Amino acid sequence: MIAIIDYKAGNLFSVKNAFDKLGVDTVITSDVDVIKKADKLLLPGVGAFENAMNHLRELKLDHVIVDEVKSGKPFLGICLGMQLLFNSSEEYGYHEGLNILEGKIIHFDFNNVGATHCEHAPKIPHMGWNSITNCAGSKLFSDLENQFVYFVHSYHLVTDNKEYKQIITNYGYDFCSAIEYKNIFATQFHPEKSGEVGLSILRTFANI
């Protein structure tokens, strides 16, 4: 059983529908006991970082997520659900995250060193299909080098931790579009909106 965590900020039913197509047993829940009993956890997310963290705290889900992830339970974060894993976000100010992984969430900055210099900077938000690279050696993405997945976001992760496996996408410059570390998997893109490639990612996660 995969528990899809309901914290008032997720694209819950599109995620569940994707797993239903795969014949994978899931439940949408904000019940702490159900989350603790689940075999795997999934944290979806659409919306603002600060609001999402407030909802997690109000529902008393922040501590149970941290505890269950640290116990070794397989975990998948999607989009905002990925961003919340890290130390902080600069979205509309400074906001602390779950502090499960090291890193911060920043706005796309096309003035960065290494950014593509062109007459017109890429549009924000980064919306639509883009490819993923650096997939070799990963558990979820090893067969998906240069495959296309679906994005909708204006902020992305930066981390200096070399122990994390980072999947890379280029949008003006290279950024981390997915990450793996031990039992933790997270994608900035939406597997549930990424066709057969996304379904293959969800299938692999379900089989871990």
Residues serving a catalytic function are: 79, 190, 192
Helix ranges, the chain (H): 12-22, 32-37, 49-58, 62-70, 80-83, 195-207
Structure tokens at 94: 């400074």
Structure tokens at 149: 């997945």
Phi, psi of 50 (to 5 degrees): -60, -45
| Alpha-carbon span 35 to 73, nearest angstrom | 11
DSSP letter at 60 equals T
Structure tokens at 96: 């602390």
- CA 156 remoteness from chain centre: 10
